[in-house]
Structure 1
Amino acid sequence: MAPNLKPSALENAFVLKALTENVRLDNRSFSQMRNLDISFSSTEYGVVDVRLGRTRVIVRISAEVTQCRSDRPYDGLFLISTEISPMAAPTFEAGRKSEEELVISRIIEKSIRQSQALDTESLCILAGEKCWLVRADVHFLDHDGGLLDAGCMAVSAALLHYRRPEISIVGTGNKREVVVHPVTEKVPVPLSVLHVPVCVTFSFFNMKLADNDDEEMDTDAPDQTAVLVDASLQEELLRHGFMAVTANTNKEICQIYKAGQLVVEIETLLSCTEAAVAVAEKVTKLIKRRLKEDEATRNVDNIFEEARAENTRLVADEEAIREMDKE
């Protein structure tokens, strides 16, 4: 059995008493996130290391050519796989998904794949025959709260950073073949990312019942609810409920997930969605700034720009072939 990390009654009373005085243990305000650091691999596209406070997530994007689904002949495939090992926290077991990990996996799936952040039609190579299978492997290395937020940010950043190999189509009719060119031959091309989803988790605390056990509390006290952004692990273990909101810079809400029995006023929920949009804008700006810095270190003497010109005609030919397939 995995050990129980539930804080003691003394820790519970101390943390919640501090919240009644508008104080968090790390001196952050209720609406302040921890320091966010995003770094990309210098040797491989699509590998990102995200650190949210002491929480750490690494995501790797990969792609391969595969068969199209019979019911989606004009779409490629996009899969997201999550893994939380005991190295992240002793509450997780190797080879066995906990309920918390299943919730995290579902919300990331809804936030990114089901919100159509990645244009899967652009992954189609030959209609009804060949397409790209893009896979995002999410590895949680350290757990200090905010796994969901860090994982969603990492996948979004990795998709923007990834470059798939360039391809060419050889032959005509039923004898067409897809040739995948290595990076040494042709410059890889970016994925078609339509928007950048960013998940923000809000933790709810019923301040009236700070000294009561969860089993005994009366949850009908929405007017005394404290809302914390980006809770640490200790705060997550003590919260009475939470809500995960995924938003983007278009001020669109991609998904909302609320858990816990605590009653929260609608005004509070609406303010949370507005705060999520503001956080999404800040995080997206940081991701794009890091991407520019990474590209600047790779694109010495503009060699990528010169090489991309060689791919222009090939891209036009591929688009013409797709239009013929649709007809």
Structure 2
Amino acid sequence: MGSSNASGDISADMEIDAFRRLFPVQFYERHFVKSLRPDARTLNSARDTSVALGAVSSANGSALVKIGCTTMLAAIKMEIMTPSTESPDEGNLAIEFHMPPICSPLVRPGRPADAAPVISKQLADTILSAGMINLKELCLVSGKAAWMAYLDICCLDADGALFDAALLSAVAAFSSLRIPVVSLNDEGRVFISEEMEEGKSKREPVNKEQRKLTLSNIPFSLTCVLHKNYILADPNAEEESIIETSVTVVLNSSGQLVSLYKPGGPVLAYTAAIQDCVALTKQRVQELQIILNEAISDMEVD
């Protein structure tokens, strides 16, 4: 009897798996009518999220972020540059998003992922338009020296909502950033103090100790996929693959709209769906602020 039941369960599982592969939309709709998803989440629920700061010891700031299985490693390296003549008292940011073949079976070796440059530009536009960083804080000597912050984000596991995880990892990395101490040498050139050769004379440090950046209007995002009358928050890769229409809402820490992205799918006929996505994002922002603050507290304790 036990063997018969076991073979029956296996047969049922095989039938469900086959139905899921052959008719994915219908499979999901059977869950939607119960306000559930195959991974047991409700339609409006995001996946479990974790943030760990200081994940890369050789970087000036870094973070490891997981949203469900989607995993991002972000690291910042600070270098001294000559500021532009148009902005002599400002530093600059350079953001690169990388998708190596290990992150997804859809990314092939030797062929860069199409999504990588798109997300890189999205991240740069979002961080700058939100006003999270005052570039004047990156100035060392007006017209002569300023900081260039190189932010590299590597996607280790691409299981949906890549922009949301990448943006959170960027914010977390900047939250952990410690700007190095720099000094002037006898010729008036700026050097990172750690790189100065011992025994050579130097002037007073430009900044006396490592310091943090002042972050304001921090942006957070939530991607939703829309199918008929259903809105799914924080989709995984399978959900994104079967539902064309997606909306990514970016709000700052005060709940103000920073940007809204709608990369694909049909034109939405009603604004009610967008309003619902914004409302879900406001709830998500509160969750992410708590998670980020806890990560910052843990780092300061350590």
TM-score, scaled to structure 2: 0.83
Q: In structure 1, what is the Cα distance between the partners aligned to 2:269 and 2:34? A: 20
Aligned to 1:280: 285
Which residue in 1 is equivalent to 2:299?
Answer: 294
Structure 1 residue 122: deviation in Å?
Answer: 0.8
Aligned runs of 1:185-224 on 2, under 5 Å?
A: 187-206=209-228
Q: Which residue of 1 aligns with 2:246?
A: 242
Q: Which runs of 5+ in 1 are unaligned?
A: 1-6, 207-224, 298-327
Distance 1:87 1:276 in 2: 30
Maintained 8 Å contact 1:112/1:197: yes
Say which of 263, 266, 288 aligns to 1:261: 266
In the alignment, which of 17, 39, 58 is matched to residue 30 of structure 2?
Answer: 17
Q: Which residue of 2 aligns with 1:35?
A: 48
1:115 Cα deviation from its structure 2 partner: 2.3
Deviation at 1:201, TM superposition (A): 0.4
Specify which of 62, 78, 99 is matched with residue 84 of structure 1: 99
Q: CA offset at residue 95 of structure 1?
A: 5.0
Pick one of 172, 179, 193 that aligns with 1:181: 193
* Deviation at residue 147 of structure 1 after TM alignment: 1.1
Structure 1 pair 11–271 and aligned structure 2 pair: CA distance change class (3 A): closer
Question: Which SS does the other structure have where 1:190 is aligned?
Answer: coil
Instruction: Give the letter for the 1:81 counterpart.
Output: E
Query: What is the identity, as a one-letter code, of the residue corresponding to 2:174?
Result: L
Instruction: Give how far 1:264 is off.
Output: 4.5
In structure 2, give the amino acid aligned to 1:90: P
CA deviation string 1:271-323 (max 9, x = no partner): 211221221122022111111111111xxxxxxxxxxxxxxxxxxxxxxxxxx
- 1:161 and 2:165 aligned: no
Taking the aligned partners of 1:94 and 1:247, their CA distance within structure 2 comes to: 35
- AA aligned opposite 2:250: T
2:99 and 2:113 in contact (8 A); partners too: no
Amino acid aligned to 1:55: T
TM-score scaled to structure 1, two decimals? Answer: 0.77
Say if 2:234 is the partner of 1:230. yes
CA distance in 2, matches of 1:20, 1:59: 38
Q: Report the CA distance between 1:170 and its aligned residue.
A: 5.2
User: 1:110, 1:255 within 8 Å by CA — same for their partners in 2?
Assistant: no
1:148 aligns with 2:163: yes
Q: Could you tell me whether the CA contact under 8 Å between 1:199 and 1:244 is conserved in 2?
A: yes
Amino acid at match of 2:246: F
Is the Cα contact below 8 Å between 1:57 and 1:150 reproduced in 2? Answer: yes
Give how far 1:94 is off.
Answer: 4.0
Q: Deviation at 1:146? A: 1.5
CA contact (8 A) 1:35 1:52 kept: yes
1:179 shift after superposition:
3.4
Q: CA RMSD in A?
A: 2.2
- Secondary structure of the residue aligned to 2:223 is strand
> What SS is found at the alignment partner of 2:175?
helix
The Cα shift of 1:31 comes to 1.1
1:182 partner SS: helix
Shift in Å at residue 246 of structure 1? Answer: 1.0
Give the whole-Å Cα distance in 1 for the aligned partners of 2:281 and 2:110.
33
Q: Which runs of 5+ in 2 are unaligned?
A: 1-19, 196-204
Contact preservation (8 Å) 1:63, 1:164: yes
Which AA in structure 1 matches 2:166? G
CA distance in 1, matches of 2:269, 2:121: 23
